[in-house]
Amino acid sequence: MAAGPTGYVGAMEHFTIATVAEKSPDFRRVLWTGEHTQLVIMTIPPGGEIGEEVHEDVDQILTFVSGTGEARVAGEKKEVVSGDLVVVPAGTKHNFVNTGPNPLVLYTVYGPPEHADQAVHRTKEEADAAEAAGQDEPPTA
């Protein structure tokens, strides 16, 4: 078996994910990158959003830890709160907007990886700039 992008072969990673996500002030932080999936935590400030996007070849599963927001997926809108999970199939237009007074905290799994291994973007603006500059590319197999 080949080593994944992080160099681990069969190593277990363990996270108390809700606690880890709640403690992160960063807009986006890649926690773990494997060969086929990637775990990312996000904190969207009040009034903020992920930004409308489409991942052509990447499925995404988002689980909300705290805060309130609105999922906008494939033209549908749905309120999201702590404990909710939203699946975004590859090729689907989506956005997630913080509609509450507190940060909207979530973790998401991409399959395959979508971002650079160990990437940390403190703000959406920083994340957008890194993507535009080609500095947020996922590892290649």
Q: How confident is the model at residue 138 (pLDDT cuts 50, 70, 90)?
A: confident
User: 55: alpha, beta or left, given left = phi > 0 and alpha = psi -120 to 50?
Assistant: beta
Q: What is the pLDDT of residue 54?
A: 97
Residue of 79, 59, 61, 60 lying closest to 69 (CA atoms): 79
Mean pLDDT of 84-110: 98
Q: Where is 127: in which H helix or E strand?
A: helix 124-132
Mean pLDDT of 22-32: 95
pTM assigned to the model: 0.88
Identify the residue with better confidence: 1 or 6: 6
Domain extents for the chain? 26-133
Measured CA angle at 98 (ends 92, 102), to 5 deg: 150
At the topology level, CATH places domain 26-133 in Jelly Rolls (2.60.120)
